[in-house]
Amino acid sequence: MSKKYISFQGLHGAYSDLVCRKFYKDYLTIPCTSFEDAIRAVESKKAEVALIPVENNIAGRVADMHFLLEKINLKIVAEHYHKIEHHLMTKKNLNLPNIKRVFSHVHALNQCRENIKKFKIKPFNFIDTAGAAKYISESTIQDAAAIASKLASEIYNLKIIKKNVQDSKNNITRFLVFSKKSIKIDLKKKVITSIVFNTKNLPASLYKALGGFASNSINLTRLESFFVNKDFKQFSFLVDVESHPESLNFKKALKVLNLYSTKVKMIGYFEASDFRN
Protein backbone atom coordinates (compact mmCIF):
# COMPACT_ATOMS: atom_id res chain seq x y z
CA MET A 1 0.00 0.00 0.00
CA SER A 2 1.42 3.40 -1.01
CA LYS A 3 2.07 5.93 1.73
CA LYS A 4 -0.15 8.99 2.10
CA TYR A 5 1.13 12.40 3.19
CA ILE A 6 -0.33 15.41 4.97
CA SER A 7 1.48 18.79 5.00
CA PHE A 8 1.45 21.43 7.73
CA GLN A 9 3.26 24.66 8.63
CA GLY A 10 5.99 24.36 11.26
CA LEU A 11 8.50 21.81 12.48
CA HIS A 12 7.78 18.30 13.68
CA GLY A 13 6.18 18.67 17.10
CA ALA A 14 4.14 21.75 16.19
CA TYR A 15 0.48 21.75 17.23
CA SER A 16 -0.49 21.30 13.58
CA ASP A 17 1.73 18.20 13.46
CA LEU A 18 0.02 16.89 16.60
CA VAL A 19 -3.44 17.45 15.06
CA CYS A 20 -2.35 15.75 11.80
CA ARG A 21 -1.26 12.69 13.78
CA LYS A 22 -4.45 12.71 15.84
CA PHE A 23 -6.95 12.82 12.96
CA TYR A 24 -4.88 11.30 10.13
CA LYS A 25 -3.15 8.37 11.78
CA ASP A 26 -2.45 6.61 8.45
CA TYR A 27 -0.65 9.62 6.98
CA LEU A 28 2.99 10.70 7.23
CA THR A 29 3.41 14.37 8.13
CA ILE A 30 5.39 16.83 5.99
CA PRO A 31 6.66 19.97 7.82
CA CYS A 32 6.65 23.18 5.74
CA THR A 33 8.11 26.63 6.41
CA SER A 34 4.91 28.54 5.57
CA PHE A 35 1.18 28.09 4.96
CA GLU A 36 1.86 28.72 1.26
CA ASP A 37 4.40 25.87 1.19
CA ALA A 38 1.95 23.52 2.91
CA ILE A 39 -0.68 24.36 0.27
CA ARG A 40 1.90 24.06 -2.51
CA ALA A 41 2.80 20.55 -1.32
CA VAL A 42 -0.75 19.46 -2.19
CA GLU A 43 -0.80 21.36 -5.49
CA SER A 44 2.47 19.65 -6.52
CA LYS A 45 1.15 16.24 -5.35
CA LYS A 46 3.80 15.83 -2.63
CA ALA A 47 0.92 15.55 -0.15
CA GLU A 48 -2.69 14.43 -0.47
CA VAL A 49 -3.98 17.05 1.98
CA ALA A 50 -2.79 20.07 3.98
CA LEU A 51 -3.91 20.98 7.50
CA ILE A 52 -3.95 24.70 8.37
CA PRO A 53 -5.02 26.54 11.57
CA VAL A 54 -7.51 29.31 10.80
CA GLU A 55 -8.74 30.64 14.14
CA ASN A 56 -8.29 30.38 17.90
CA ASN A 57 -10.94 31.28 20.47
CA ILE A 58 -8.39 33.38 22.41
CA ALA A 59 -5.87 34.70 19.84
CA GLY A 60 -8.47 35.21 17.08
CA ARG A 61 -8.04 34.46 13.40
CA VAL A 62 -4.82 33.44 11.68
CA ALA A 63 -4.59 36.47 9.38
CA ASP A 64 -2.27 35.01 6.72
CA MET A 65 -4.87 32.42 5.71
CA HIS A 66 -7.39 34.98 4.46
CA PHE A 67 -5.12 36.09 1.65
CA LEU A 68 -4.48 32.46 0.72
CA LEU A 69 -8.22 31.73 0.60
CA GLU A 70 -8.66 34.53 -1.92
CA LYS A 71 -6.42 32.82 -4.51
CA ILE A 72 -6.28 29.17 -3.43
CA ASN A 73 -7.06 26.44 -5.99
CA LEU A 74 -7.65 23.72 -3.40
CA LYS A 75 -10.91 22.78 -1.70
CA ILE A 76 -11.68 22.66 2.02
CA VAL A 77 -12.72 19.07 2.78
CA ALA A 78 -12.77 18.88 6.61
CA GLU A 79 -12.58 20.86 9.84
CA HIS A 80 -11.11 19.83 13.18
CA TYR A 81 -11.17 21.52 16.58
CA HIS A 82 -8.35 20.83 19.00
CA LYS A 83 -7.82 21.86 22.62
CA ILE A 84 -4.38 23.48 22.91
CA GLU A 85 -2.36 22.37 25.93
CA HIS A 86 0.85 24.33 26.46
CA HIS A 87 3.62 22.69 28.51
CA LEU A 88 6.77 24.24 29.99
CA MET A 89 9.73 22.05 29.06
CA THR A 90 13.50 22.07 29.37
CA LYS A 91 16.57 19.83 29.47
CA LYS A 92 16.45 16.72 31.64
CA ASN A 93 18.97 18.08 34.18
CA LEU A 94 17.08 21.33 34.87
CA ASN A 95 14.12 22.19 37.12
CA LEU A 96 11.81 25.18 37.47
CA PRO A 97 14.04 27.12 39.95
CA ASN A 98 16.83 27.06 37.31
CA ILE A 99 14.67 28.72 34.64
CA LYS A 100 15.04 32.46 33.97
CA ARG A 101 13.93 32.61 30.29
CA VAL A 102 11.22 30.98 28.19
CA PHE A 103 11.01 30.80 24.39
CA SER A 104 7.88 30.22 22.30
CA HIS A 105 5.61 31.60 19.59
CA VAL A 106 4.09 34.98 20.45
CA HIS A 107 0.54 33.52 20.67
CA ALA A 108 1.66 30.77 23.05
CA LEU A 109 3.49 33.28 25.25
CA ASN A 110 0.40 35.51 25.34
CA GLN A 111 -1.80 32.54 26.22
CA CYS A 112 0.50 31.72 29.17
CA ARG A 113 1.18 35.30 30.27
CA GLU A 114 -0.09 35.04 33.86
CA ASN A 115 1.76 31.79 34.59
CA ILE A 116 4.98 33.18 33.07
CA LYS A 117 4.69 36.12 35.48
CA LYS A 118 4.00 33.77 38.38
CA PHE A 119 7.11 31.72 37.58
CA LYS A 120 9.12 34.99 37.35
CA ILE A 121 10.67 34.08 34.00
CA LYS A 122 11.24 36.39 31.02
CA PRO A 123 9.44 35.57 27.73
CA PHE A 124 11.19 35.64 24.33
CA ASN A 125 9.40 35.36 20.99
CA PHE A 126 10.37 32.48 18.72
CA ILE A 127 9.17 31.67 15.19
CA ASP A 128 7.07 28.73 16.44
CA THR A 129 6.54 26.49 19.46
CA ALA A 130 8.26 23.40 18.06
CA GLY A 131 11.18 25.53 16.88
CA ALA A 132 11.56 26.84 20.43
CA ALA A 133 11.64 23.27 21.78
CA LYS A 134 14.26 22.29 19.19
CA TYR A 135 16.34 25.35 20.07
CA ILE A 136 16.31 24.53 23.80
CA SER A 137 17.21 20.92 23.04
CA GLU A 138 20.22 21.86 20.89
CA SER A 139 21.50 24.89 22.84
CA THR A 140 24.06 24.97 25.63
CA ILE A 141 22.15 27.51 27.74
CA GLN A 142 21.25 26.29 31.22
CA ASP A 143 18.58 28.76 32.33
CA ALA A 144 15.94 28.51 29.60
CA ALA A 145 12.79 26.56 28.75
CA ALA A 146 10.30 26.35 25.90
CA ILE A 147 6.52 26.36 25.82
CA ALA A 148 5.30 23.78 23.33
CA SER A 149 3.26 20.59 22.87
CA LYS A 150 3.76 17.23 24.57
CA LEU A 151 4.70 15.85 21.14
CA ALA A 152 7.51 18.43 20.89
CA SER A 153 8.90 17.33 24.28
CA GLU A 154 9.01 13.73 23.04
CA ILE A 155 10.60 14.56 19.67
CA TYR A 156 13.27 16.88 21.13
CA ASN A 157 13.92 14.84 24.28
CA LEU A 158 12.86 17.52 26.77
CA LYS A 159 11.40 17.19 30.26
CA ILE A 160 8.02 18.77 30.99
CA ILE A 161 8.44 20.68 34.25
CA LYS A 162 4.94 22.21 34.28
CA LYS A 163 1.92 20.85 32.42
CA ASN A 164 -0.92 23.00 31.07
CA VAL A 165 0.59 26.42 31.68
CA GLN A 166 -2.01 28.19 29.50
CA ASP A 167 -4.00 30.76 31.47
CA SER A 168 -7.33 29.63 30.01
CA LYS A 169 -8.20 25.95 30.17
CA ASN A 170 -10.61 26.41 27.26
CA ASN A 171 -8.08 27.19 24.51
CA ILE A 172 -9.42 25.83 21.21
CA THR A 173 -7.97 26.11 17.69
CA ARG A 174 -9.93 25.35 14.54
CA PHE A 175 -8.08 23.69 11.67
CA LEU A 176 -9.16 23.26 8.06
CA VAL A 177 -8.04 20.49 5.71
CA PHE A 178 -7.39 21.25 2.03
CA SER A 179 -7.38 18.83 -0.90
CA LYS A 180 -7.31 19.02 -4.69
CA LYS A 181 -10.82 17.62 -4.93
CA SER A 182 -13.96 17.89 -2.84
CA ILE A 183 -15.29 14.82 -1.03
CA LYS A 184 -18.86 13.76 -1.79
CA ILE A 185 -21.10 14.07 1.26
CA ASP A 186 -24.64 12.79 1.73
CA LEU A 187 -27.27 15.55 1.55
CA LYS A 188 -28.67 14.37 4.89
CA LYS A 189 -25.44 15.15 6.74
CA LYS A 190 -24.85 18.45 8.57
CA VAL A 191 -22.61 20.29 6.12
CA ILE A 192 -20.74 23.61 6.23
CA THR A 193 -20.04 25.40 2.94
CA SER A 194 -17.37 28.12 2.74
CA ILE A 195 -17.58 30.97 0.24
CA VAL A 196 -15.38 33.97 -0.57
CA PHE A 197 -17.08 36.85 -2.40
CA ASN A 198 -16.71 40.54 -3.32
CA THR A 199 -19.80 42.72 -3.27
CA LYS A 200 -20.75 45.32 -5.88
CA ASN A 201 -20.14 48.96 -4.94
CA LEU A 202 -23.81 49.66 -4.24
CA PRO A 203 -25.72 50.80 -1.10
CA ALA A 204 -26.60 47.86 1.17
CA SER A 205 -25.00 45.38 -1.24
CA LEU A 206 -23.69 43.15 1.56
CA TYR A 207 -27.10 43.13 3.26
CA LYS A 208 -28.80 42.24 -0.04
CA ALA A 209 -26.15 39.67 -1.02
CA LEU A 210 -26.65 37.77 2.24
CA GLY A 211 -30.42 38.19 2.17
CA GLY A 212 -30.81 35.07 0.05
CA PHE A 213 -29.50 32.91 2.90
CA ALA A 214 -31.98 34.43 5.36
CA SER A 215 -34.96 34.06 3.00
CA ASN A 216 -34.01 30.42 2.37
CA SER A 217 -33.60 29.60 6.09
CA ILE A 218 -29.83 29.03 5.87
CA ASN A 219 -27.82 29.86 8.99
CA LEU A 220 -24.53 31.80 8.72
CA THR A 221 -21.95 30.54 11.21
CA ARG A 222 -19.14 32.86 10.17
CA LEU A 223 -18.82 36.20 8.39
CA GLU A 224 -15.51 38.02 8.11
CA SER A 225 -14.16 40.82 5.93
CA PHE A 226 -10.61 41.42 4.79
CA PHE A 227 -8.86 43.78 2.38
CA VAL A 228 -7.78 42.36 -0.97
CA ASN A 229 -5.62 45.29 -2.11
CA LYS A 230 -3.08 47.65 -0.60
CA ASP A 231 -5.09 50.86 -0.91
CA PHE A 232 -7.93 49.61 1.35
CA LYS A 233 -10.55 50.17 -1.35
CA GLN A 234 -11.83 46.64 -1.86
CA PHE A 235 -13.13 44.14 0.65
CA SER A 236 -13.55 40.41 0.31
CA PHE A 237 -15.93 38.54 2.56
CA LEU A 238 -15.58 35.02 3.90
CA VAL A 239 -18.79 33.29 4.91
CA ASP A 240 -19.55 29.82 6.30
CA VAL A 241 -23.13 28.61 5.98
CA GLU A 242 -24.91 25.55 7.35
CA SER A 243 -26.01 24.03 4.07
CA HIS A 244 -25.03 21.43 1.50
CA PRO A 245 -24.13 23.12 -1.82
CA GLU A 246 -26.39 20.68 -3.68
CA SER A 247 -29.50 21.59 -1.68
CA LEU A 248 -32.23 23.54 -3.47
CA ASN A 249 -32.27 26.30 -0.82
CA PHE A 250 -28.52 26.85 -1.19
CA LYS A 251 -28.81 27.15 -4.96
CA LYS A 252 -31.53 29.78 -4.55
CA ALA A 253 -29.41 31.71 -2.03
CA LEU A 254 -26.39 31.52 -4.35
CA LYS A 255 -28.36 33.18 -7.15
CA VAL A 256 -29.06 36.14 -4.87
CA LEU A 257 -25.41 36.28 -3.76
CA ASN A 258 -24.26 36.37 -7.38
CA LEU A 259 -26.73 39.14 -8.17
CA TYR A 260 -25.06 41.55 -5.72
CA SER A 261 -21.44 40.36 -6.07
CA THR A 262 -18.63 40.94 -8.55
CA LYS A 263 -17.02 37.60 -7.67
CA VAL A 264 -18.22 34.48 -5.84
CA LYS A 265 -15.91 31.54 -5.15
CA MET A 266 -16.95 28.40 -3.28
CA ILE A 267 -13.82 27.23 -1.48
CA GLY A 268 -15.20 23.97 -0.17
CA TYR A 269 -17.83 22.09 1.77
CA PHE A 270 -17.34 19.59 4.56
CA GLU A 271 -19.13 17.66 7.25
CA ALA A 272 -19.58 19.79 10.38
CA SER A 273 -17.34 18.74 13.26
CA ASP A 274 -19.02 17.12 16.28
CA PHE A 275 -17.42 19.93 18.32
CA ARG A 276 -20.10 22.29 16.98
CA ASN A 277 -22.71 20.27 18.90
Same domain, 14 and 70: yes
Residue 94, classed as helix, strand or coil, is coil
The whole-model pTM stands at 0.92
Q: Does residue 175 fall inside a structural domain?
A: yes
Q: Residue 122: which CATH number?
A: 3.40.190.10
Same domain, 239 and 127: no
- Along the 277 residues of the chain, how does pLDDT read in single tens digits? 578 999 999 999 999 999 999 999 999 999 999 999 999 999 999 999 999 999 888 877 776 677 777 778 999 999 999 999 999 999 999 999 999 999 999 999 999 999 999 999 999 999 999 999 999 999 999 999 999 999 999 999 999 999 999 999 899 999 999 999 999 999 999 999 999 999 988 889 999 999 999 999 999 999 988 776 666 566 789 999 999 999 999 999 999 999 999 999 999 999 999 999 8
Q: Residue 246: which CATH number?
A: 3.30.70.260
Helix crossing, 205-215 with 248-259: angle to 10°? 170
Q: Which of 8, 175, 197, 250 is catalytic?
A: 175
Q: Does residue 103 fall inside a structural domain?
A: yes
Same domain, 42 and 175: yes
Q: Does residue 262 fall inside a structural domain?
A: yes
Same domain, 94 and 67: no
Residues 225, 196: Cα–Cα separation, whole Å: 10
Determine if residue 226 is left, alpha or beta; phi over 0 gives left, psi from -120 to 50 gives alpha, anything else beta.
beta
Residues 37, 256: Cα–Cα separation, whole Å: 36
Same domain, 203 and 238: yes
Q: Does residue 27 fall inside a structural domain?
A: yes
Q: Which residues contact 211 (CB under 8 A, 6 or more apart)?
A: 256
Residues 151, 157: Cα–Cα separation, whole Å: 10
Q: Which of 29, 173, 193, 199 is catalytic?
A: 173
Same domain, 220 and 272: yes
Same domain, 140 and 267: no
Same domain, 60 and 99: no
Q: Does residue 132 fall inside a structural domain?
A: yes
Same domain, 12 and 56: yes
Q: Does residue 185 fall inside a structural domain?
A: no
Length of the chain equals 277
Residues 121, 99: Cα–Cα separation, whole Å: 7
- Please indicate whether residue 90 is annotated as part of the active site: no
Same domain, 71 and 175: yes
Q: How many domains, in total, are found in the chain?
A: 3
- Please indicate whether residue 173 is annotated as part of the active site: yes
Q: Which domain holds residue 40?
A: 4-83+171-179
Indicate the pairing of strand 101-104 with strand 144-148. parallel
8 Å CB contact between 35 and 67:
no
Q: Does residue 186 fall inside a structural domain?
A: no
* DSSP designation for 219: -
- φ/ψ of residue 234, rounded to 5: -130, 130
The DSSP secondary structure of 40-55, one letter per residue, reads HHHHTTS-SEEEEEEE
The last residue of one of the domains, among 179, 205, 231, is 179
